[in-house]
Structure 1
Amino acid sequence: MANSLRQTWEQYHKGKPLEEGEVLTIDKKNGYILLERKQEEYLTKIEMCYWNESDKKHKLFAVSITSFVNGKYSAGQYDGLSFYRYNNASKTMSLTHDVGFDVAIGTSDGAQISYSLPRTGKDIIATMWYENKTKKKTIRWKGRKFN
């Protein structure tokens, strides 16, 4: 997944057209990127964004990958939500799980969970995908972690 994202990113920066079925949204103002890749009935979304932390020394960076088949969430091998903490002084980034909530891929009652990152605002939306319905939950940003 990272390799294909890098290829798309390089094509974009070289001013070359993206592959058929790819759409890249870059919102520099809001610190948000979305790559959508559609192939027949399959759609993969890779979202990235960051939050400035209240200590003004770090940024929290997130990557969310979600896969759909015929419009319904269908978790793939790479699906999920990952966080990285960026240190402004050292200009280094490292994987972190200390974000204020446990990132889950499913619920005890059988739902799969996908995450939508904010293009505007600060909060993440978790969607629980049940057989015949969905439920949404807002995960609120509190300056360094989520609630």
Structure 2
Amino acid sequence: MDSMKKPDIEITKISPVGIGKDKIELIVTIKVKNPSFLDAPIKRIEFELFRHLNNGEDYLGRGEKEGVILKADSENLIDIKVLIENLSFISAAAEYIKDGVSIIVRGSIFFDLKIFAPEIKFEEIKRLKSPLEDFFK
């Protein structure tokens, strides 16, 4: 990775893939643009999810993936599963179904450059549309 160029990091999608009575499984898709002419090995990507509230935030869960290679001079899509099994899930699921919900994704990418592992932090708020939103339009 060129020392002068930082990769662009964007949360492109948060998709519910399974909802049970006491848990929800999400796929968080992260797009990382590698500006370098060399492939860049990632030691680890980790993040935490929070429900965005008017008076703060509510912890939902965390995701992690290891051993990813960012292809040179390209945009790389990385899917990471997150299982949410805490009490916040109940109110977040109800809000999601009724009105949609805003999710904060806060994390870090650690590059594996053999000698050291530089960390690049990221944070983004994404809105999950209610599955009923389009139905009532």
**So what's the TM-score if we normalise by structure 2?**
0.28
Larger RCO (alpha carbons 8 Å, 6+ apart):
2
Higher strand share: 2
**So what's the TM-score if we normalise by structure 1?**
0.27
